[in-house]
Amino acid sequence: MRRGALLGVVALIGAAQAAMPAEVLTIAAVDNADMNRMQELADDFVAGNPDIHLNWVLLKEDVLRQKVATDIETRGGQFDIMTIGNYEVPIWAQQGWLKPLDDLGDKYDEDDLLPAIRKAVSYDGKLYASPFYGESAMLMYRIDLFRAAGLEMPPSPTWTFVRETATKLTDKAAGRYGICLRGKAGWGENMALLTAAANSFGARWFDLDWRPEFDSLEWQRTLTFYVDLLQAAGPPGAAFLGYTENLDLFRTGKCAMWIDSTVAASTLSNPKTSDVVGRVGYAPFPTYGGLGNHGNWLWTWNLAIPASTTKAGPAQRFIAWATDRDYADLVAAHEGWAYAPPGTRISLYNNPAYRSAAPFSGYTLTAIDTANPDQPTVKPAPYTGSQFVAIPEFQRIGNAVGQIFAAAVVGQMSVTQALASANDLTLREMTRAGYVKQP
């Protein structure tokens, strides 16, 4: 073949490749700061993968959970990549609803994942999701307000200290409230906080025979404390405020204390997104009555591939880019080390540049390392999970109980009535599911 003809063939092949439609990956993503940042930086991935187009579907946390659960259970095929938590990963992997992540490439370095996080996203020894950030829970507080009131945060605060301090620092006339806590109903909203708090109060969801224990003294103490605290020192409409809403309140100076996810710290330290930069301190999740259980939760938002997709190869290429070691360097280059996704990789916490830029990093790592999802309660329990119960039925039961407890916060029922209603509902559901045997 003559050279001119050969060049013509090459040109035709190139033109044909250029004309080929890009593979479209539809990503169901949680609408939070870290995922928004990932979307903004995704041009880096597209530049190296021009054959892939990204279609982002950003959703509020509660809406995301509902949509991805419906899609995966029905094999709807709406998404190629899903943002899911470590609650779903082992349950959905066991059901065969997720594809294993077995082609992430050498750069991914699975051994660099924090052991607790790696375990949380694995099933039967295989990785079924890749974490883009991990978290526990801690107490965040306004150093300046504490100092002005002559208060000092102890190394290990108790719930009694939290209540007394929140009352002192509440100034409703000035629009400032002593504490923000999740009140919005949902298994991952108010019930995440309340389950963790209940663990610290010595309560548990179920006894060893899977019978619910909302009629226990420990749950009475937990819910009474929570309801009284929000009514006395919480912001208006507390029963409708979740993580996002409370983050907005705290970063704009409306709350003196906030007990929630460790991942919030990067947003609070960013001058672009926070009015309280340099005025926030951190402390462990509170304990109660000398029991010593901090109630630390363990959560990780992850990218996973539903079994229904036909695009597992391109999906793994994106997941590897979004969650490997190099991604933290990319974030640091654009916004600084303080905003690198926390709580997933050993190398990040061994990085002096990150530790220097993120004064909260030690609190985050300690909280994650000391979380004990395999034994979250003071008394022995038949389940695992720190701020959830790791059984398939929990999502439905947790949502229903969350609605009941939110009603107690707004005064639609008493604490005693709420606990009795939650116990009856949970017993009925657990009996129907076969956990509780009929006499």
Q: What is the pLDDT of residues 293-332, one digit of tens each?
A: 998 999 999 999 999 999 999 999 999 999 999 999 999 9
More confident site: 3 or 298: 298
**Quick check: 19 pLDDT over 50?**
no
Determine the average pLDDT of the residues in 248-253.
97
pLDDT at 2: 52
Burial bucket for residue 273 (CB in 10 Å: 0-12, 13-18, 19+): middle
Query: Other CB atoms closer than 10 Å to residue 181's CB: what's the count?
Result: 25
Name the CA dihedral angle for 4, 8, 13, 14, rounded to a multiple of 10 degrees: 90
pLDDT at 10: 44
pLDDT at 272: 87
**Quick check: 171 pLDDT over 50?**
yes
**Residue 399 confidence class, pLDDT cut points 50, 70, 90:** very high
**Quick check: 101 pLDDT over 80?**
yes
**Quick check: 439 pLDDT over 80?**
no
Distance (Å, rounded) from C-alpha 215 to C-alpha 201? Answer: 14
Q: How many percent of the chain have pLDDT more than 90?
A: 88
Determine the average pLDDT of the residues in 262-282.
93
Determine the average pLDDT of the residues in 277-281.
96
pLDDT at 354: 96
**Quick check: 17 pLDDT over 50?**
no
**Quick check: 14 pLDDT over 70?**
no
Determine the average pLDDT of the residues in 133-150.
97
pLDDT at 18: 47
pLDDT at 8: 52
pLDDT at 20: 54
Determine the average pLDDT of the residues in 412-437.
97
Determine the average pLDDT of the residues in 287-291.
93
**What domains, with CATH codes, occur in the chain?**
21-135+299-358 (3.40.190.10), 137-295+373-432 (3.40.190.10)
Distance (Å, rounded) from C-alpha 69 to C-alpha 188? Answer: 14
Contact criterion met (CB below 8 Å) for 216 and 209: no
Nearest to 237 by CA among 61, 410, 62: 410
Residue 224: strand pairing partners: none
Distance (Å, rounded) from C-alpha 425 to C-alpha 87? Answer: 22
pLDDT at 33: 84
Residue 163: strand pairing partners: none
Coil vs helix vs strand at 297? coil
Contact criterion met (CB below 8 Å) for 241 and 177: no
pLDDT at 270: 87
**Residue 4 confidence class, pLDDT cut points 50, 70, 90:** low
Coil vs helix vs strand at 137? strand
Q: What is the pLDDT of residues 20-73, one digit of tens each?
A: 568 999 999 999 888 999 999 999 999 999 999 999 999 988 899 889 999 999
- HSE-CB for 250 with a 13 A CA cutoff: 32
**Quick check: 279 pLDDT over 90?**
yes
CA distances from 395 to 131, 262, 378, 400 (A): 21, 23, 23, 9
